[in-house]
C-alpha cells in the first residue's frame, strides 16, 4: 500500500505554485518591440501564478450514523497517489471501536477500484489501521446471456470492481436475475458484489455470502442514497421487491418484519441494502 505523507503533499503543492519547467534560457524573446515594451511604455504586471485546482474531497451525508468514521476512511484513500477522487463509502462492518469501511475511488489515469479500509477508535478519534484494494478479476472469454444483460443494462450501475466481478462470472445466476428484476422498477447503484468484501461477517466467524457470489449490496436507488431518510419509501419498495426474487435475507436501515427471518437491520446496514441468497 502506498501512502503520501503530509510533507510530500506540501512539497508537491509548493512546486505546483512556484516551480516552472522552463529555465531562464528557455523563453523565446521577440526581436520586434511591441507597444507594451516600447520606450516610455510601462511593462505590464506579471500574471498571477497558475494554481492547480484543489481536489474535491469526499464528505459523508449528514444522516450517517458516524460521519467521522467514513471521513477518516475516505481521507486515507484520497491520499493514495493513484486516486483522483472518492465517490462512495459504505460500512462493511461497524462495531466501535472497530469498523471496516468500503471506499470506492476513481483513478487519475482512468478506471478505479474499491478499498476495504480498517479503522479503530481510541480516545474518541478514528485512526486508519489498513487500506486494502480489491483484487482484479479476469473477464470471461465468452460470458453468458445473464452476464451480458446485466453489463448492458442502463438501470444497473456497477462500480469498477463490481463490473469486473460480473464480467468474470463470479456472481450466481440468482443474484444476476434479482438485480435485473429490481431494475425493472428502479435504477439501482450496486456498491459491492465480491471484490474487497471481507470473507467473514464483520466481528464474527461466519462466512459472508459476498465472497461466494451470493449477495449484492445497493447504495443508491433512483439517484438517492439509501442512508437518506427521504429515500425511506424507495428503500422499503426495493427491499420487498428483492425479497420476492428469492433472497433469503434482505437487510437495510429498517427491519420490515420486526424480528422475523426475512428482513433485518443493524448499524452496519444503515447505509445500504444487502440482498443475500442461499447456495
Domain boundaries, the chain: 67-133, 145-276
- Express each pLDDT in 217-265 by its tens digit: 999 999 999 999 999 999 999 999 999 999 999 999 999 998 788 999 9
Contacts of 230 (CB under 8 A, 6+ apart): 224
Look at residue 20 and tell me whether its pLDDT is greater than 50: no
Residue where the block lists cell 427471518: 261
- Express each pLDDT in 143-195 by its tens digit: 999 999 999 999 999 999 999 999 999 999 999 999 999 999 999 999 999 99
State which fold the 67-133 domain adopts.
Answer: Nuclear Transport Factor 2; Chain: A, (3.10.450)
The answer to whether the Cα torsion of 184, 214, 277, 162 is positive or negative is negative
Cβ(57)–Cβ(79) below 8 Å: no
Does 145-276 match 67-133 at the fold level? no
CATH 3.30.1380.10 holds for 145-276: yes
User: Whole-angstrom Cα distance, residue 248 to residue 275?
Assistant: 8
- What percent of the chain lies above the pLDDT cut of 90? 78
Q: Is the full-model pTM beyond 0.85?
A: no
In angstroms, the Cα distances linking 230 to 51, 263, 269 are 39, 20, 17
Amino acid at each position: 500500500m502506498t501512502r503520501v505523507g503530509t510533507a510530500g503533499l506540501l512539497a508537491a503543492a509548493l512546486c505546483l505554485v512556484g516551480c516552472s519547467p522552463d529555465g531562464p534560457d528557455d523563453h523565446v524573446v521577440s526581436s520586434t518591440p511591441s507597444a507594451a515594451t516600447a520606450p516610455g511604455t510601462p511593462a505590464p504586471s506579471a500574471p498571477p501564478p497558475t494554481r492547480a485546482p484543489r481536489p474535491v474531497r469526499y464528505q459523508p451525508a449528514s444522516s450517517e450514523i458516524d460521519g467521522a468514521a467514513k471521513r477518516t476512511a475516505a481521507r486515507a484513500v484520497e491520499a493514495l497517489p493513484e486516486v483522483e477522487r472518492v465517490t462512495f463509502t459504505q460500512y462493511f462492518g461497524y462495531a466501535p471501536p472497530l469498523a471496516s469501511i468500503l471506499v470506492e475511488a476513481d483513478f487519475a489515469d482512468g478506471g478505479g477500484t474499491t478499498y476495504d479500509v480498517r479503522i479503530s477508535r481510541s480516545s474518541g478519534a478514528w485512526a486508519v489501521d489498513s487500506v486494502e484494494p480489491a483484487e482484479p478479476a479476469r473477464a470471461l472469454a465468452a460470458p453468458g446471456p445473464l452476464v451480458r444483460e446485466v453489463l448492458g443494462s442502463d438501470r444497473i450501475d456497477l462500480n469498477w470492481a463490481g463490473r469486473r466481478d460480473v464480467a468474470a462470472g463470479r456472481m450466481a445466476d440468482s443474484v444476476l436475475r434479482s438485480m435485473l428484476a429490481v431494475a425493472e422498477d428502479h435504477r439501482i447503484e450496486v456498491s459491492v458484489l465480491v471484490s474487497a468484501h471481507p470473507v467473514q461477517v464483520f466481528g464474527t466467524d461466519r462466512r459472508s455470502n459476498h465472497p461466494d457470489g451470493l449477495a449484492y449490496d445497493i447504495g443508491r436507488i433512483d439517484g438517492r442514497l439509501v442512508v437518506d431518510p427521504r429515500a425511506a419509501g424507495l428503500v422499503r419498495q426495493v427491499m420487498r421487491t428483492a425479497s420476492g426474487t428469492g433472497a433469503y435475507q434482505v437487510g437495510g436501515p429498517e427491519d420490515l418484519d420486526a424480528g422475523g427471518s426475512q428482513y433485518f437491520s443493524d448499524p452496519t446496514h444503515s447505509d445500504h441494502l444487502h440482498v443475500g441468497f442461499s447456495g
